[in-house]
Chains A and B, each alone.
Chain A
Amino acid sequence: MSEASASKTVTLTIDGRRVSVPEGTTIWEAARGLGIDIPVLCHSTRMRPVGVCRMCVVDVGARTLPASCVRPCENDMEVDTRSAEVQRHRRVLTQLLLADQPEESAREASTGDDELMALARQFDIADIPYPDGARQRPRGADASSPVIAVDHQACILCDRCIRACDELQHNDVITRTGKGYDTRIAFDLDAPMGESTCVSCGECMAVCPTGALTNKAVAGLKIEPAA
């Protein structure tokens, strides 16, 4: 609620429930206050929202569906966070991302908390109707860091590692490089992570929702999901 001012409130309806929130509160935050969980991959409560994964889109009766993580609440807004249409689009977005994911998630295999895989289970996705973009892993990997494994194929460009590195930790190392479908994350002037100015703080890896940035097993200790 970085821009919320305590002096003014707005009142709206979310999934049929009236709620008053400080002006500047996003729909995602207001819904959360009501116990309504809107799925999201790019947002984290610790960060400035960017609205790029579009998983949190909601119906506010407009021409398009805004991302609730960036859309401020307005007076008399009527928000539907889980209409059939909204859920259908979330399913398509999940399938699009899954089409380019490696078979195995390094995060699922280690810490067991791959958020994209969790969405796949939530939407009960068994088939993906799009061409497989992960075969032969064209996006590549970067094993140069002693502690962090980078798998570009698993990256969904959620921007979390970028904000974690540049805005939370102020280490100023990670960016997006390239454009369009060929965009990927990069370190400094696109150096291998291990040769970049990365200080291995681990924040990027901690916030990554997929298997793109994971902890390397060091000292022969295998990392496994908690029982």
Chain B
Amino acid sequence: MKLLKSMMALQARDGAISDEALNTLSKKEDVPLYRLEGLRSFYPVFKTTPSTAKRVQVCRDIVCRMRGGSDYCARVREALAGAEDVEVEEVSCIGRCDSAPAALVEEVPVSGDPERVSAYAAGRLELPAHQPALTGERWATDPYSRDDEHYATLGAYLARDDAAQARDEIIQTLKDSGLRGLGGAAFPAGMKWDFTRRAAGEPKYVICNADESEPGTFKDRVILEANAHLLIEAMILAGWVIGSHRGVIYLRHEYLPERETLQRAIDDAYQRGALGADVLGSGFAFELEVFVSPGGYILGEETALLEALEDKRGEPRNKPPFPTNAGLWGKPTLMNNVETFAAVPIILARGAQWWADQGRDRHKGLKYVCVSGDVAKPGVYCIPWGMTVAEVLDLCGGVPGGKALKAFSPGGSSTNFLPAKLADVPMDFDALAQAGSAMGTAAMVFVAEGRDMVGLALSQVRFFRNESCGKCVPCRVGSHKAVQIVERCQAAPSGADQYPVLEELDATLAKTSICGLGQVALGPLMSVFRFFPDEAGVAALRGRAGGKT
């Protein structure tokens, strides 16, 4: 953390990290130059040459392409062509899909057509003030009706004189609740807490993964801004249960406005005595800090995140060992996603049965979904587990313009597209898997009739290609070749069937890549072959003429 923090400070001070600055840092920290070069060149926030130009970062990914047009980035560039002192950069999803098309002007999120974005950039329009998520309103997963009740669940556990049993109960309640990791991997939370508690090694760490960066995903941004106290409370509880005294919230750097809210909530917890050397007078110590990521989707992969915290290039580790046993600095580490942690206080406050009752039928609990794409009211919605995709679409005002639904991606770029006829599938891990897709990050992207599915799928594959860390061969080379194969065929159809080679590549990436990024990289494209075989775009890739849109 120390080196990357020093480098981020240099970047902030000078607008770049020069060789000279790294030479000095190398001597000061006694770190060889090669390591600093490895870091500077890996993380997107680091630049090598300073610039005084205003930075405009335009999202190039699926939802902004849908809402702003597939040439959105090019048009923003065009609109700013004559502007002095403005630099336009195309970047991966910035997590503002609910206000797509979106861009960052000097790190401030803005939204709108190219003319509007260029007006912000050129200073003709004042940059918009941050619109916080509804913080005054009580959320369905917040057990507290008043601010002064915050941390009461934690307090009740810490006050018990049978601490060992209280810890057992917490783990059992989490297991009974059926709570699973909601960052995409779906590992049972109670088991993870249990493994880390039992793991040998000191010190232990509690980490919150707040690095959601997958196109269409923005639920954690809203949850951590509106309910930071729940996340903080759960992390302290986790520390108490597993025997850890240090927590880190790993936050994506584009969430700067939300970072301030989060920091205020942490400060508030310290003031209340819920954080610090003597948590609520119990003698238990727990310190919590925010680490702002120097950028890149791959850092959301848990072991890449750990590498970053250890001041290395954020490249995923081979597993096993798993972080529960060998995480940060090789020590037992409990890492959960924002939404997973934030669900813990209410589950403990009201019990596993109450949580189970919130779901539909056999499904347990409440779920936050982030909805975007061709939908009237994009945003974050809290739904009972088991609500169908069609019902979620209704909840969000349906497809605008009276158009019919063509397809949907239930869980983000890493999940397969499904056709509209499957919209009665419940939002549930198993049901979505059976339908041929996955829950992923619950980034539901709805697609209206008339959209080109190959174009959308290609943008997903491009995202993974762009965000590949480059560590392993299948992902680094395979994702690039797949994009090239599709792009070349679109530019100049060869008449040859590209499916067999893409299918073979997909199998190799899925089976041999080190981490989930490479394993799923071609999934969305393959799902379009499977579910939309009659598309014109698919016909072109298969070397056939015709097809419909």
List the interface of chain A (C-beta within 8 A of B). 50-55, 57, 64-67, 70-72, 85, 88-89, 92-93, 96-97, 99-100, 129-131, 133, 156-157, 166, 172-183, 186-190, 197
Contact = CB atoms under 8 A, between A and B. Distances in A.
A66 B472 CA distance: 12
A183 B359 CA distance: 46
B476 A189 contact: no
Interface of B: 19, 22-23, 32-38, 40-42, 296, 313, 318, 320, 465-474, 476-481, 484-485, 488, 501, 504-505, 507-508, 510-514, 519
Given A176-B313, A186-B34, 10 more contacts: A50-B318, A54-B512, A64-B511, A92-B507, A96-B508, A100-B477, A130-B485, A175-B38, A180-B469, A189-B23
Given A176-B38, A183-B476, A186-B34, A64 B512 contact: yes
A52 B477 contact: no
Contacts of A178: 41-42, 470
Nearest to B23: A189
Contacts of A93: 473-474, 508, 512
A131 B488 contact: yes
A71 B473 CA distance: 18
Nearest to B502: A129
24 contacts: A51-B472, A53-B472, A57-B511, A65-B511, A72-B320, A88-B504, A89-B508, A89-B511, A92-B504, A93-B512, A96-B508, A97-B477, A99-B481, A129-B501, A131-B485, A156-B473, A172-B33, A173-B34, A175-B37, A179-B296, A179-B468, A179-B469, A181-B468, A188-B34
Chain A to chain B: the 5 pairs with minimum beta-carbon distance, closest first: A183-B470, A175-B34, A172-B32, A175-B38, A177-B41
A157 B313 CA distance: 14
Contacts of B505: 92
A108 B34 CA distance: 29
A123 to B, nearest CB: 13
Contacts of A100: 477
Given A57-B512, A186-B34, A189-B33, A181 B473 contact: no
Interface of B is mostly: helix
A176 to B, nearest CB: 6
Contacts of A65: 511-512
B477 A175 contact: no
Interface of chain A, main secondary structure: loop
Nearest to B514: A51
A51 B512 CA distance: 10
Given A92-B505, A188-B37, A180 B465 contact: yes
A197 to B, nearest CB: 7
Given A57-B511, A97-B473, A179 B32 contact: no
A188 B38 CA distance: 9
A190 B511 contact: no
Contacts of A177: 37-38, 41
Most buried by A among B472, B478, B485: B472
Contacts of A172: 32-34
Given A65-B512, A93-B512, A175-B38, A52 B471 contact: yes
A54 to B, nearest CB: 4
A180 B37 contact: no
A189 B19 contact: yes
Contacts of B501: 129-130
A138 B198 CA distance: 51
Contacts of A50: 318
A64 B481 contact: no
Given A66-B318, A96-B478, A180-B465, A189 B37 contact: yes
Contacts of A176: 38, 42, 313, 470
A172 B36 CA distance: 11
A29 B494 CA distance: 46
Contact of A180 (B35, B467, B484): B467
B37 A53 contact: no
A73 B474 CA distance: 24
Given A188-B37, A189-B36, A53 B473 contact: yes
B288 to A, nearest CB: 30
Contacts of A183: 470, 476
A177 B474 CA distance: 19
Contacts of A186: 34, 37, 41
B508 A190 contact: no
A99 B469 contact: no
A100 B35 CA distance: 26
Contacts of B471: 52
Contact of A181 (B34, B477, B514): B477
Nearest to A156: B473
A137 B473 CA distance: 19
Contacts of B481: 96, 99, 130-131, 133
Contacts of B507: 88-89, 92
Given A166-B34, A180-B465, A186-B34, A96 B477 contact: yes
A177 to B, nearest CB: 4
Contact of B474 (A54, A71, A156, A180): A54
A190 B480 CA distance: 24
Given A179-B42, A186-B34, A189-B33, A54 B466 contact: no
B478 to A, nearest CB: 6
Contacts of A55: 473
Contacts of B480: 133, 180-181
A131 to B, nearest CB: 5
Nearest to B42: A179
Contacts of A66: 318
Q: Which of A52, A89, A175 has the most CB of B within 10 A?
A: A175
A96 B484 CA distance: 13
Q: Looking at A85, A179, A187, which has the most chain B CB atoms within 10 Å of its CB? A: A179
A182 B34 CA distance: 17
A223 to B, nearest CB: 28
Contacts of B488: 131
A96 B513 CA distance: 13
B511 A189 contact: no
A175 B35 contact: yes
B37 A70 contact: no
A190 B38 CA distance: 9
B315 to A, nearest CB: 9
B16 to A, nearest CB: 13
A182 to B, nearest CB: 8
Contacts of B320: 71-72
B19 A96 contact: no
A70 B484 CA distance: 31
A92 B522 CA distance: 15
A187 B37 CA distance: 9
Nearest to B314: A179
Contacts of B467: 180
Contact of A54 (B32, B41, B473, B510): B473
Contacts of B510: 64
